[in-house]
Structure 1
């Protein structure tokens, strides 16, 4: 297999340039690109994290695009990391909510490394939106806030605490507008105007890698991101539902202030 660094398409070894844009083809930058795991052909790397990589993939039978997360090979022999990876998949799959990424499949690669399959989404992380557009308009920040809060309520109903809520773990998918917005004006004859929004942000919460069951208590373990973790988490006490709400408050403040 060869890879086009411009359009990110894979090609069989029967040419030197990309037929779409003329870019010189190179070997895939990741050894798993072009490989098949289960019924999924891995096409490109979407992201990297501390525990593994997320690939854009295609189901070889139905042709649908998915995202596949594969545990890093260096963790395959460490029970703690494998169990955490499995819990991430089970936690997200257990919670059926429109604002939580959907898990659709699970399996093992030929070299016995676990992976799970998620819905494929196009959009951006909240951290990128904050970096380029903060402070956000209040109506947009509130729209994101309410969706995250609804998703957290569903998690907490299942006794699952996310424990690492941050803008990097909140994904925004552009959807066609559905509401009318009220804009205040200085004109006393027309103090406000109504207009339909072009698009709105549908929230998807990602990465349950450090989530836990609320009934399981663990001390002396710091999990999360310092800028967003609740004080008790920083002291090494495992967080509960309130810790997620604290993190959401920090995120809301950041959306409004930058």
Structure 2
């Protein structure tokens, strides 16, 4: 189904614009800019879409802080196994507090039953994107990135958390000015997506 934000009417999926006011329709379960969820987070824009969830940029209404909100796809709202894994991801990520790991702030459920997690918003690009553009990274830059990833994973391992899906797509690089006296960029790195992580010695396993 499609939804019109102007007249609040719904139409079949094949419709692209509202017959009444010509406004562009959006999928019924897609969050639109300006919408507020749980009286706390104002949706600013959609920043990513996957097969299992959609990620939005949002603002906390009380604190004014920018956050990323990951909302489960409507087609999975009745999949109890997936919902269990999604909540487990939130529990795992919440335990990890490290400057090189994306921080998780909140877990909640929307009015239509879809759970969502609220995370630190990181303004950067995936390492995959950097590699595709540059083809190769200077050794000093690659070493700097590797050290930060290892630091985040080391902190996770101390908590008994094994990521199990480390790859360039799950590493965000935030360009920083080169330190004084250095010709190497001082990139900051953030590891994210603990969606198939496992807690050693425990029962929380969200592998697919």
Q: TM-score, normalised by structure 1?
A: 0.65
CA contact (8 A) 2:60 2:66 kept: yes
1:48-67 alignment runs, 5 A limit: 48-67=49-68
User: In the aligned structure 2, how far is the partner of 1:49 from the partner of 1:213?
Assistant: 25
User: In the aligned structure 2, how far is the partner of 1:134 from the partner of 1:81?
Assistant: 36
Shift in Å, 1:159 = 0.8
User: In the aligned structure 1, how far is the partner of 2:26 from the partner of 2:174?
Assistant: 28
Shift in Å, 1:40 = 0.7
Deviates more, 1:93-102 or 1:78-87: 78-87
Larger radius of gyration: 1
Query: Which residue of structure 2 aligns with residue 32 of structure 1?
Result: 31
Shift in Å, 1:122 = 1.0
User: In the aligned structure 2, how far is the partner of 1:61 from the partner of 1:216?
Assistant: 36
Query: Which residue of structure 1 aligns with residue 149 of structure 2?
Result: 148
Within the candidate set 196, 200, 203, 1:210 is matched to 196
CA contact (8 A) 1:93 1:104 kept: yes
User: In the aligned structure 1, how far is the partner of 2:163 from the partner of 2:80?
Assistant: 21
Unaligned 5+ segments in structure 2 are 7-20
CA contact (8 A) 2:71 2:116 kept: yes
CA offset digits 1:208-253 (Å, max 9, x no partner):
1111112259xxx985xxxxxxxxxxxxxxxxxxxxxxxxxxxxxx
The aligned length equals: 185
Question: 2:64 is paired with a residue of what secondary structure?
Answer: coil
Query: Which residue of structure 2 aligns with residue 254 of structure 1?
Result: none
Q: TM-score, normalised by structure 2?
A: 0.80
1:1-258 alignment runs, 5 A limit: 1=5, 26-27=24-25, 31-34=30-33, 35-38=35-38, 39-181=40-182, 199-215=185-201
Question: 1:200 is paired with a residue of what secondary structure?
Answer: coil
User: In the aligned structure 2, how far is the partner of 1:118 from the partner of 1:92?
Assistant: 9
Query: Which residue of structure 2 aligns with residue 186 of structure 1?
Result: none
Shift in Å, 1:90 = 1.4
User: In the aligned structure 2, how far is the partner of 1:149 from the partner of 1:32?
Assistant: 36
Query: Which residue of structure 2 aligns with residue 234 of structure 1?
Result: none
CA RMSD of aligned residues (A): 2.5
User: In the aligned structure 2, how far is the partner of 1:40 from the partner of 1:202?
Assistant: 27
Question: 2:111 is paired with a residue of what secondary structure?
Answer: coil
Shift in Å, 1:121 = 1.4
Unaligned 5+ segments in structure 1 are 3-15, 17-24, 182-194, 224-258
CA contact (8 A) 2:54 2:72 kept: yes
